[in-house]
Amino acid sequence: MKRNRLWMAMAAASLGAAALAGCGQSQDVAPASASGTGTPAPAAPSAVAAPPGSPAATATATATSTGTAVATGTGAAVATGGECTAAQLKASIVTQPGGGAAGSVYRNLVVQNTGSTACTLQGYPGVSYMDAAGKQVGAPAKRNPEAAMTAVVVAPGGSAVAEVQQTNAQNYGDGCELTEVAGVRVYPPNDTASLIAPQSTVGCANAQIVLMTVGTFQPA
């Protein structure tokens, strides 16, 4: 009887100790998953366009814009100015080196800007022979359709040129009506006034015969 009581007392003590041990253990915490999503990093600020008129906006517009190239005649680079007029030009006829051809000669009509401001020449000049009295001799020059159209800025003291092919008047016989020529009358593009390039030669009074072909103005 005493032995049974002792066994029961020991069993009760063992159960109590186990209960105390259970209460003393801390609760398990599940480890954070390695593949879980953490707190997202703050996003980098997006670019903001500069307001119109600001230095940054102006610099960007300048860097991306393109301009139109303009050829310049002899002389320093200058602003384009307005169209050249006869009043600010001086003209001369210069034979090209080796410019002789069968029955004709290639020459340059050279115009110099004698004014104090730059001006622009673009297109064909009007060209015709004149006698010593200033009267036109024969037909005016025809235009060379293959000549390139270029805007030429001519600085003060600078020049531009237009090629002129002059056919020998003697090639046409009696029908030419040979007439002494004192110069070439030149009308700048879009100008009703003219200037004279001195040249001593002969032309045809017959207006049905065209002795000259002229090109567009080009840089000298």
Q: What one-character-per-residue DSSP string does 52-116 give?
A: TTSHHHHHHHHHH------EE-SS------EE--GGGEEEEEEEEEEEEETTEEEEEEEEEE-SS
Whether residue 65 has pLDDT greater than 70? no
pLDDT score for 79: 64
pLDDT band at 99 (very low <50, low <70, confident <90, very high): confident
pLDDT score for 1: 46
pLDDT digits (tens, 9 = 90+) for 131-151: 999 999 999 999 999 999 999
% pLDDT > 90, the chain: 60
pLDDT digits (tens, 9 = 90+) for 183-207: 999 999 999 999 999 999 999 999 9
pLDDT score for 73: 59
Q: Is the distance from CB of 91 to CB of 197 less than 8 angstroms? A: yes
- Give the 3-state secondary structure of residue 172: helix
pTM recorded for the entire structure: 0.65
β-pairing, 142-143 with 212-219?
A: parallel
pLDDT score for 163: 98
Least confident of 55-64, 113-122, 179-188: 55-64
pLDDT score for 187: 99
Measured CA distances, 177 to 108, 173, 203, 206, 207 (Å):
26, 8, 8, 6, 10
- What average pLDDT does range 68-74 have in this prediction? 52
Topology of domain 71-219 in CATH is Immunoglobulin-like (2.60.40)
pLDDT score for 8: 52
